[in-house]
Structure 1
Amino acid sequence: MPSAGRAELDAAGITDPGLRAAYSRCRDLNARHGRTYFLATRLLPRERRPAVHALYGFARHADEIVDDLGDQRPAEEKAALIDALSAELEIALAGGATDQAVLIALADTAHRYDIDGRHFIDFMRSMRMDTQVSGYATFEELDVYVHGSAAVIGLQMLPILGTIVPRAEAEPAAAALGVAFQITNFLRDVGEDLDRGRLYLPSDELAAFGVDRELLTWCRRTRRHDRRVRRALAHLVAHTRAIYRRAAPGVAMLEPVSRACIACAFRLYRGILDEIEAADYDVLHRRVTVSNRTRAAVAGPGMLRAVLARARS
C-alpha cells in the first residue's frame, strides 16, 4: 500500500487489516481510472479521502460490469451480474458478510457517514438500465437514468464533505453537479458509447439539428465530419454549461475544508467542455481530455486553499 494511502487510513481511524485492504482496493481503482476525481480528492483532509475512494471504487466496479468494451458477454448475463451485485450490496449495507472489497469499504463508509442506502439502490437500478436501454428519446427520459447514475453520487458525497447549511438545502446543487459531470462524460464519450451500442444524447435534441444515431455511427466508422453533428453538440455543450451554473452555488454551502476539492473537480470537468469546443466538437474520433498542465494549474492553487482552510479549522 502506498504511504499516502496508509496515512489516509490512519487519519480516518481505520485500523482493521481487512477493512484497510478493502479501502486500499478502492483507492487503487480511483487512482487508475478516475484521474480527475482522484486529483480533486487529494484536496480533502486525509481522514475524509478513504470514504470518497470507497464511493468511487464501488461505482467503478459496477460500471465495469456493463461498460467494459473487452467484455463480450450478452446483456442478459451482465444484467444477472448486476442483480447479484445489487443483492449482495443490500446484504452488506444491512451489516451482513461479503467478500467483495468494494462492498466492504462501501458499507463501512455508509455506516460511518450515515449515507442513505436508497442512493446506492438507485445507482444499481441505473446500472441495470445500461443492460436494457440503448437510447433515450428526451431529456425527461434521460433524467430517470442520470438520477441514479449521477445525481445520487452528489447526494452520497454530501455527508462526507459536510455542509454549513441544512443538508436538504445543499442537495439540489449537489445532485445538479453530479448530473453535469455525467452529461459531460456523455459528450466526451459519444464514440465509445456508440461502440457499446448505446447513445445517451436525447434523440429529439439531435433530431432538431438533423442528426440521428445512424449519422453518428456513419461519421465514427468513416472518420468523416458533419456540420450538423457539430451544431448539435454545440447545443448540448451549452445545455450542460447551464447545469453547471445551477450547481455552482453549492460549493459555498460546503464546509470550508471541502470546498477546494469540489471546486477543483468542478473546474476540471467543466474544462472538458472547453476542450470539446477547442477540438471543434470532434468527439467521435478521439477522446478529449484536460491537459496535465491545466490539471496542475487548477490543482496547485486548490491545494493552497485546502491547506489554508484546514489551518483555519
Structure 2
Amino acid sequence: MTDRELDAAGITDPALRAAYTRCRRLNARHGKTYFLATRLLPVGRRPAVHALYGFARWADDIVDDLGSPATTAERAGQLAALQERLAAGLRSGHSPEPVVRALAHTAAAYGIDHRLFTDFMAAMRADLTVTHYATYDDLCGYMHGSAAVIGLQMLPVLGTVVPREEAAPHAAALGIAFQLTNFVRDVGEDLDRDRVYLPADLLAAHGVDRELLEWSRTTGFRDRRITAALKAAVALTRGVYRRAAPGLGMLDPVSRPCIRAAFVLYGGILDAVADDGYAVLHRRAVVRRRRRAVVVVDGLVRVAAARTRAATRVPGTGVTTRVQLTRRPPGAAVHEEVA
C-alpha cells in the first residue's frame, strides 16, 4: 500500500500500516477487477476497502485453495480458528494476525456492524459441506452471507446521500449481482471443486443436471440445453443488477465513480460470457483490456467532476448537506484526494 493512502487515512502505527499493506497486496493479486475500481476511490478510503477485501479473500482461500492438501475437517478447523481471531479482534480492536488487525481497525473506524462478519463466516463454513442449491431462494440464503454482507460492509466506507438504511438493499443487491456473475463465469472451475452454484431448479427448467455439466466439462463437448440454462442465469443476474442500479446515485458523489466502474466491469463479464458463446464450462470469459481501460478513463473523468463539484460547493447553501460522512479513521486528513 502506498504511504500516501495510509497517510490520508490517518494510519500511523507501523504494525497497523504493515497490516493494511498486506491486505492491499491480497486485493491486487486476487481481485484484479475490484482492485482496479478501488483506484477511483479517494485515497483515504482505499485502505478500508483493502482490509474488507483482504479478510474475505483470506477466508475464501481457506475454503477453496485447490493447491492445498488440507481435508475438509482441517479446513473447518482453520475457519474456526479464524472465527475466534476475528471475534477477539473485533472485541478488542487489535489482533496479532495482520489481516484481522486491519479489519478490526476498519470496523471500529467506520462503525461496521459486527454481525455482517459473523454472517460471512457462516457462509464460508457452508462451502465446506454444501455442494448445490435446490432453488434460487436457497441460493439467496447462502449469498446473504457470502455476498450481500460485503456490499453492506462497504456502505459506511463509501458514504451515502440518503439514510443508510435506504441505500442498504441496493448495496446488498450489488454484492449478490457480483457473486452471481462469478457463479456464471466460474461454472467449470466450481464444478472441479464439486460445487454447482447455479440453482438446480433453474438448470432443470432447461433439462440440465450435474451429470450433464460434468459430461460437458470432461469431454469438452457443448450442449444446447446447457447454453439455454446459462442464458437464463445471465438474464437472472442482469435483473439483480437492475435492482442494484438505483443505489449508485445514493452514494457519496466521490465514491460513485468507483462503484459505477465495478458495476460496469462486472456487468461486462456477462457480456464476455455471451460473446464467447456461453462456453464457461471450457474456458473463462474475460473482459478485454481495451474495455477495462475505457471504463477506467470514464471513471477518472467522473472523479474529476465530483472533485470539482465538491471544491465549488458554497457553505451554508444547503447543497449536498444530506451526505452522510462516515466516521473517518482517527487522524485522517480532512480533504480527500483521488489521484
Q: TM-score, normalised by structure 1?
A: 0.98
Unpaired runs of at least 5, structure 2 = 311-339
Contact 1:115–1:159 at 8 Å: present in 2 too? yes
Contact 2:150–2:175 at 8 Å: present in 1 too? yes
Q: 1:135 to 1:19 in 2, by over 3 A?
A: same
CA distance in 1, matches of 2:307, 2:40: 10
CA distance in 2, matches of 1:276, 1:97: 43
1:172 counterpart (169, 184, 187): 169
CA distance in 2, matches of 1:55, 1:128: 18
Partner SS state of residue 210, structure 1 = coil
Match of 1:18 in 2: 15
Partner SS state of residue 255, structure 2 = helix
CA distance in 1, matches of 2:3, 2:94: 24
Match of 1:217 in 2: 214
CA distance in 2, matches of 1:213, 1:22: 42
- TM-superposed deviation, 1:72: 2.7
* Residues 66-89 of structure 1 deviation map (CA, whole Å, 9 limit, x = unaligned): 011112321111111111101110
- TM-superposed deviation, 1:297: 0.5
Contact 2:254–2:306 at 8 Å: present in 1 too? yes
Residue 68, structure 1, aligned to residue 65, structure 2: yes
Letter in 2 for 1:207: A
Q: Aligned runs of 1:1-313 on 2, under 5 Å?
A: 5-95=2-92, 97-313=94-310
Contact 1:110–1:116 at 8 Å: present in 2 too? yes
Letter in 2 for 1:56: Y
Contact 1:45–1:310 at 8 Å: present in 2 too? no
Higher helix share: 1
CA distance in 2, matches of 1:288, 1:253: 31
Instruction: State the structure with more CA Rg.
Output: 2
Number of equivalenced pairs: 310
Unpaired runs of at least 5, structure 1 = none
CA distance in 2, matches of 1:31, 1:208: 39
CA distance in 1, matches of 2:280, 2:307: 39
What percentage of aligned pairs have identical amino acids? 63
* Residues 248-305 of structure 1 deviation map (CA, whole Å, 9 limit, x = unaligned): 0000000100000000000000110000000110000111111111110001010121
- TM-superposed deviation, 1:122: 0.4
Partner SS state of residue 131, structure 1 = coil
Quote the RMSD (CA, aligned, Å).
0.9
- TM-superposed deviation, 1:100: 1.4
Moved more, 92-101 or 59-68: 92-101
Q: TM-score, normalised by structure 2?
A: 0.90
